């Protein structure tokens, strides 16, 4: 969701997931609510993450706790973790016991479920398939499995000598891979024996063995180096004759399938010793499903689903539907984010979250970033919550929030919606607006009387439109608006076209146009406005954009219909103008009104309004001659670049700009003097 993507960073995301499993392979936890049992026994859970693309550790050993039992057998997981904001994907790894930053989990063989039965979980979808997650699509499930190989050792005796059943059994595995210590790398899936100390002693009961990958029924030498049944110790000849068979598993249709006795993560075996009169007469091996408790394996997931209430006139439907909410809650000095997606149910809209802050109904200072299918609509809008209205916020019809006298515009989507349907309000930009890669087609419309757009010193970047300007007809006030770059290429081939507007019936002041205009051959074009109507005024503006084609061209306005003295005052044009135009003026393409000083203190760059480069015949008004143009101007002249940038010209422009607007040469903003508000 451009969308003014979420910026990659270290904003904490409070994660509360659920546990699930894939069915059937005997490796995964397949019973409901088992993790709470581990936590009850003081088993510590941790969360680590790795970036999916670069395989770099993103965070490690973030403390995690097992929450309440969820419906259908799931457990909640709660952890304050970091998600990379933006579309940087990460893989999540949950584990009991701390791990090294390179992913190595320490393992110790033994008989304790709580100390030796290490669990590893990975971020997955609902069916248990391991997936990556990112800020816009976070992982909602963690699928756990056992890392160790579980072996239940049993004794069965010949029924005719039941009264002679042995009391103890002790044996040692001689296979070098069946050692008592090692590690398992959760990132690579490789187990390593790191601190073995010889053969490993087993006894009757449950054993958790290092998942080394050793195949114990295919050992080149003796499987067991020692067997003791009560007081009887097996001889070397006895040991040579002991072989572990393949494991058998019920295939579910009345038969069995066989597999090797391999020490792999999550496999569970029963190894049965058959004894007759203290003599080992056989072994059987069974592969089992590894169950940690007996309860339903049918797990479900129900997200938090608060209602969404929008006031202020915004239509939360169709293309304007709020599809995603990034809810922000500050707690204990840290700000946590909760990402929700919308769900429409009849006339109501809900937002589905994996988790939400505790005591949401008493939370204060809630804000949210809101997204539609077209991208980011608004950042940090104030949110309230109650059980009746759910998550509530206020937006005007264009997705704006009023701050003081102004409605604030902060995203490309807000700007596009505003310029498509402006109202008689005061608007103000609160940051630069980058229209690059915006999914919306910019469709300008008329700017009404009683409305104001204050650029507030910010810029509109990469502006592209098939319209006739930033607005079609201006009847309000366009103030301090700067088009920093872009192209205006109208779909129409006749009429007016301008950088700021096609027709000006209001006020344009302290505006800058740096976009090129590719007009139709029969159009009238100006760098600021196509036509300045009788009621219009243009004050303290700069145009650096080039104008192609057009039959009548002016650096500031294509045509001026105002007879008011100073209708166009304190303006500069430096862009290249169409030299083939019938009427070509450095400031105005055409004026046919009564003799009046309609242009006051305006300058253009030498050569930009010259039809014939060999003849110095540039004029401020295109349909006037050098001999007559002075009747309509009060100091208007072509000047070389160095002179336009001189203190003398800047001072003249600043005086003409009145009490509000002056000019400065700010190298970081432009190579030309730009209009600025006077202190």
Is the pTM above the cut of 0.85? no
* Confidence band of 137 (pLDDT split at 50, 70, 90): confident
**Does residue 139 fall inside a structural domain?**
yes
190 and 107 within one domain: no
- Please give the residue that has the higher pLDDT: either 647 or 340: 647
Q: Give the whole-number percent of the chain exceeding pLDDT 90.
A: 47
Of 125, 147, 169, which marks where a domain is finished?
Answer: 147
Mean pLDDT of 585-599: 95
Res. 309: pLDDT tops 50: yes
What's the pLDDT score for residue 113? 83
668 and 553 within one domain: yes
Mean pLDDT of 228-246: 70
What are φ and ψ of residue 307, in 5° steps? -70, 155
* Nearest alpha carbon to residue 71 among 322, 296, 356: 296
Report the mean per-residue pLDDT for the chain. 82
Q: How buried is residue 233: exposed, middle or buried, by Cβ count under 10 Å (0-12/13-18/19+)?
A: exposed
Min mean pLDDT across 224-233, 294-303, 343-352, 661-670 is at 294-303
* Confidence band of 17 (pLDDT split at 50, 70, 90): very low
What's the pLDDT score for residue 406? 97
Min mean pLDDT across 19-28, 104-113, 348-357 is at 19-28
What's the pLDDT score for residue 16? 29
Q: Which residues pair with 267 in a beta bridge?
A: none
374 and 324 within one domain: yes
Res. 32: pLDDT tops 60: no
- Please give the residue that has the higher pLDDT: either 493 or 227: 493
The DSSP line for 88-157 is --EEEEEEES---TTSEEEEE-BS-HHHH--EEEEEE-TTS-B--BBTTB---EEEEEE-SEEEEEEEEE
574 and 544 within one domain: yes
What's the pLDDT score for residue 199? 52
Res. 27: pLDDT tops 50: no
Mean pLDDT of 183-198: 74
Res. 70: pLDDT tops 70: no
Q: Note the pLDDT tens digit of each residue in 417-446.
A: 999 999 999 999 999 999 986 777 889 999
Rounded distance, CA 513 to CA 530, Å? 13
Give the CATH number, domain containing residue 45: 2.60.40
* Nearest alpha carbon to residue 500 among 485, 518, 513, 487: 513
Q: Note the pLDDT tens digit of each residue in 199-226.
A: 566 677 788 888 887 777 765 556 676 7
**Does residue 298 fall inside a structural domain?**
no
Min mean pLDDT across 62-66, 399-403, 648-652 is at 62-66
Of 94, 129, 147, which marks where a domain is finished?
Answer: 147
**Does residue 301 fall inside a structural domain?**
no
**Does residue 297 fall inside a structural domain?**
no
- Please give the residue that has the higher pLDDT: either 173 or 458: 458
**Does residue 265 fall inside a structural domain?**
yes
Q: How buried is residue 596: exposed, middle or buried, by Cβ count under 10 Å (0-12/13-18/19+)?
A: middle
Res. 134: pLDDT tops 60: yes
* Confidence band of 139 (pLDDT split at 50, 70, 90): confident
434 and 563 within one domain: yes
607 and 563 within one domain: yes
Res. 176: pLDDT tops 60: no
Considering Cα of 204, then 208, then 209, then 212, what sign does the dihedral take? positive
Of 362, 394, 426, which marks where a domain is finished?
Answer: 394
Res. 21: pLDDT tops 70: no
Highest average pLDDT, of 159-163, 301-305, 608-612, comes from 608-612
Mean pLDDT of 378-406: 95
The DSSP line for 216-273 is GGG-SS-SEEEEEETTEE--HHHHHT-----EEEE-SSS-EEEE--B--TT-EEEEEE
Q: How buried is residue 235: exposed, middle or buried, by Cβ count under 10 Å (0-12/13-18/19+)?
A: exposed
Res. 34: pLDDT tops 80: no
**Does residue 5 fall inside a structural domain?**
no
- Please give the residue that has the higher pLDDT: either 29 or 600: 600
49: domain range? 12-147
Res. 404: pLDDT tops 90: yes
215 and 123 within one domain: no
Rounded distance, CA 381 to CA 314, Å? 13
- Please give the residue that has the higher pLDDT: either 568 or 436: 568
Q: Note the pLDDT tens digit of each residue in 606-629.
A: 999 998 876 678 999 999 999 999
Interacting residues of 189 by C-beta distance below 8 A, sequence separation 6+: none
What are φ and ψ of residue 39, in 5° steps? -65, -35
Q: Note the pLDDT tens digit of each residue in 488-507.
A: 999 999 999 999 999 999 99
Min mean pLDDT across 74-88, 126-140, 500-514 is at 74-88
230 and 87 within one domain: no
Q: Which two tokens stand for residue 220?
A: 């080149």
What's the pLDDT score for residue 53? 83
**Does residue 611 fall inside a structural domain?**
yes
Mean pLDDT of 252-274: 75
Highest average pLDDT, of 92-96, 179-183, 350-354, 557-561, comes from 557-561
Mean pLDDT of 290-314: 63
Min mean pLDDT across 48-62, 313-327, 407-421 is at 48-62
109 and 61 within one domain: yes
3-class state of residue 632 by DSSP = helix
Res. 19: pLDDT tops 60: no
Task: Answer whether 434's CB lies under 8 Å from 412's CB.
Answer: yes
Mean pLDDT of 651-669: 94
* Confidence band of 262 (pLDDT split at 50, 70, 90): confident
180 and 284 within one domain: yes
**Does residue 594 fall inside a structural domain?**
yes
What's the pLDDT score for residue 11? 33
Rounded distance, CA 62 to CA 391, Å? 30
Rounded distance, CA 20 to CA 129, Å? 10
Res. 303: pLDDT tops 70: no
488 and 454 within one domain: yes
What's the pLDDT score for residue 204? 72
Res. 246: pLDDT tops 80: no
Q: How many domains does one find in the chain?
A: 4
621 and 538 within one domain: yes
Only one residue has tokens 């088009």, namely 483
């Amino acid at each position: 969701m451009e969308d003014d993507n979420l910026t990659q960073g270290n904003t904490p995301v409070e994660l509360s997931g659920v546990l699930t499993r894939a069915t059937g392979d005997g490796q995964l936890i397949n019973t409901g609510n088992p993790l709470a049992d581990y936590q009850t026994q003081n088993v510590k859970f941790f969360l680590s993450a790795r970036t999916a693309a670069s395989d770099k550790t993103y965070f490690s050993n973030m403390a995690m706790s097992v929450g309440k039992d969820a419906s259908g057998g799931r457990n909640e997981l709660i952890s304050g973790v970091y998600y990379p904001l933006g579309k940087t994907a990460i893989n999540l790894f949950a584990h009991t016991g701390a791990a090294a930053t390179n992913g190595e989990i320490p393992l110790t063989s033994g008989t304790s479920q709580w100390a030796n039965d290490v669990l590893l979980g990975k971020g997955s979808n609902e069916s248990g398939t391991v997936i990556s997650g990112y800020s816009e699509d976070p992982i909602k499930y963690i699928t756990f499995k056992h890392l160790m190989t579980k072996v239940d050792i049993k004794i069965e005796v010949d029924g005719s000598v039941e009264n002679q059943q042995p009391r103890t059994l002790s044996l040692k595995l001689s296979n070098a891979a069946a050692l008592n210590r090692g590690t398992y790398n959760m990132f690579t899936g490789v187990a390593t024996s790191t601190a073995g100390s010889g053969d490993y002693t087993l006894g009757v009961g449950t054993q958790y063995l290092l998942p080394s990958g050793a195949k114990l029924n295919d050992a080149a030498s003796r499987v067991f180096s020692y067997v003791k049944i009560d007081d009887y110790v097996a001889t070397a000849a006895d040991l040579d004759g002991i072989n572990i068979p393949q494991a058998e598993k019920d295939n579910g249709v009345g038969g069995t399938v066989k597999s090797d006795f391999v020490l792999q993560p999550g496999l569970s075996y029963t190894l049965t010793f058959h004894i007759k009169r203290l003599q080992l007469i056989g072994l059987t091996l069974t592969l089992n499903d590894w169950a940690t408790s007996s309860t339903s394996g049918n797990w479900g997931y129900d997200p938090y689903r608060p209602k969404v209430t929008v006031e202020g006139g915004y239509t939360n439907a169709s293309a304007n539907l709020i599809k995603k909410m990034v809810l922000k809650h500050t707690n204990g000095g840290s700000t946590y984010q909760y990402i929700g997606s919308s769900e429409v149910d009849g006339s109501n809209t809900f937002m589905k979250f994996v988790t939400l802050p505790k005591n949401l109904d008493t939370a204060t200072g809630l804000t949210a970033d809101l997204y539609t299918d077209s991208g980011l609509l608004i950042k940090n809008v104030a949110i309230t919550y109650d059980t009746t209205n759910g998550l509530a916020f206020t937006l005007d019809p264009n997705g704006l929030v009023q701050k003081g006298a102004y409605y604030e515009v902060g995203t490309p989507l807000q700007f596009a919606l505003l310029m498509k349907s402006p109202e008689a309000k005061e608007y103000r930009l609160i940051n630069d607006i980058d229209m690059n890669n915006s999914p919306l087609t910019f469709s300008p419309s008329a700017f009404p009387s009683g409305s104001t757009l204050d650029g507030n010193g910010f810029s509109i970047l990469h502006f592209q439109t098939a319209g006739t300007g930033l607005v079609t007809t201006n009847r309000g006030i366009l103030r301090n608006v700067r088009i920093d770059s872009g192209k205006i290429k109208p779909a129409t081939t006749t009429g007016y076209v301008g950088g700021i507007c096609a027709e000006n019936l209001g006020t344009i002041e302290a505006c800058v146009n740096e976009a090129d205009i590719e007009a139709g051959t029969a159009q009238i074009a100006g760098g600021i406005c196509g036509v300045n109507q009788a009621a219009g005024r243009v004050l303290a503006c700069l145009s650096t954009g080039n104008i192609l084609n057009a039959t009548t061209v002016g650096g500031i306005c294509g045509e001026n219909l105002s007879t008011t003295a100073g209708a166009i005052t304190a303006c500069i044009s430096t862009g290249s103008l169409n030299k083939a135009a019938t009427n070509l003026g450095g400031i105005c393409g055409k004026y046919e009104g009564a003799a009046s000083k309609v242009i006051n203190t305006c300058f253009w760059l030498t050569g930009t309004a010259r039809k014939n480069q060999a003849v110095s015949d540039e004029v401020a008004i295109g349909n006037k001659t050098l001999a007559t143009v002075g009747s309509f101007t009060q100091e208007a002249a072509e000047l070389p670049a160095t002179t336009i940038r001189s203190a003398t010209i800047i001072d003249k422009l600043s005086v003409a700009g009145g009490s509000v607007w002056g000019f400065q040469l700010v190298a970081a903003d432009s190579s030309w003097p730009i209009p600025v508000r006077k202190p």
